[in-house]
Amino acid sequence: MRIERFQASQADAVSRIIRRNLIEINSRDYSQDRIDALVAYFSPEKIAENSQSQCTFVAIQDDQVVGTASLDNFGSAASPDYYAVTVFVLPELHGQGIGTRLMEAVESEARRLGAEKVTVRAAITAKGFYLKLGYSFRDGVEELDDNREYIMGKTIMR
C-alpha cells in the first residue's frame, strides 16, 4: 500500500469510497436527510473541484484507490487553520492501518506548511480512531457540536 497525491482521474473512485462510508457507516449516527445531502455533495465533480484548494491524498493498494484524506486551510494565508477533511477508507479495509497512513501524510503536509496543529471534525464512529492517533477534544471536553461531530485537535511538531 502506498500514499500518493490525488489525481483528477481518481475522482470517481474517491467519490465511491466516501459515499459508501456515508451510507454503510455514518448512516448509523446521522439522519437520512444529512446522509443524502452529503452523498449528493461528494460527487466526482465536487471531489475534483475541492482538490484544487485542498491537498488531497489517496491510498493505493493493488493499483486501486482504497482511501482518501485531505488537508484544508479554513483560515487565511496569513493566519492558517489546518483541518484534516474527508478521511475515508473502504469499509471492508477499516482497521488495517490505511487511515493512519493517510493521516500521517496529512500531518506531514501540514508540518511542511508550518502548522503547529491539525484539527478534525470527527464523526461519531471516527472518534476512537482519532483518539488513537493522539487527537484530543477541543478544550478537553467530549461533546458533539451542532453537526453531531467532535472537534478534535493535535499538536504536531515541526
Going from the N-terminus, what domains does the chain have, and what CATH number goes with each? 2-155 (3.40.630.30)
- Separation of CA 137 from chain center: 17
- Helix or strand holding residue 69 (H, E): strand 64-73
Of 81, 92, 130, 73, the residue nearest 16 (C-alpha): 92
* DSSP secondary structure letter of residue 107: H
Residue-wise pLDDT for 88-98, tens only, equals 999 999 999 99
Phi, psi of 84, rounded to the nearest 5 degrees = -85, 125
Return all residues near 35 (Cβ < 8 A) that are at least 6 apart: 22, 23, 26, 27
Interstrand relation of 117-122 and 82-89 (parallel, antiparallel or unpaired): parallel
Return all residues near 145 (Cβ < 8 A) that are at least 6 apart: 121, 151
| pLDDT value of position 158 | 58
Q: How far apart are CA 99 and CA 14, in angstroms?
A: 14
Q: How far apart are CA 1 and CA 24, in angstroms?
A: 23
Q: How far apart are CA 154 and CA 32, in angstroms?
A: 31
Q: How far apart are CA 3 and CA 6, in angstroms?
A: 9
Digit-by-digit pLDDT tens for the chain (158 residues) are 999 999 999 999 999 999 999 999 999 999 999 999 999 999 999 999 999 999 999 999 999 999 999 999 998 888 899 999 999 999 999 999 999 999 999 999 999 998 999 999 999 999 999 999 999 999 999 999 998 999 999 999 75
One-letter amino acid for residue 40 of the chain: A
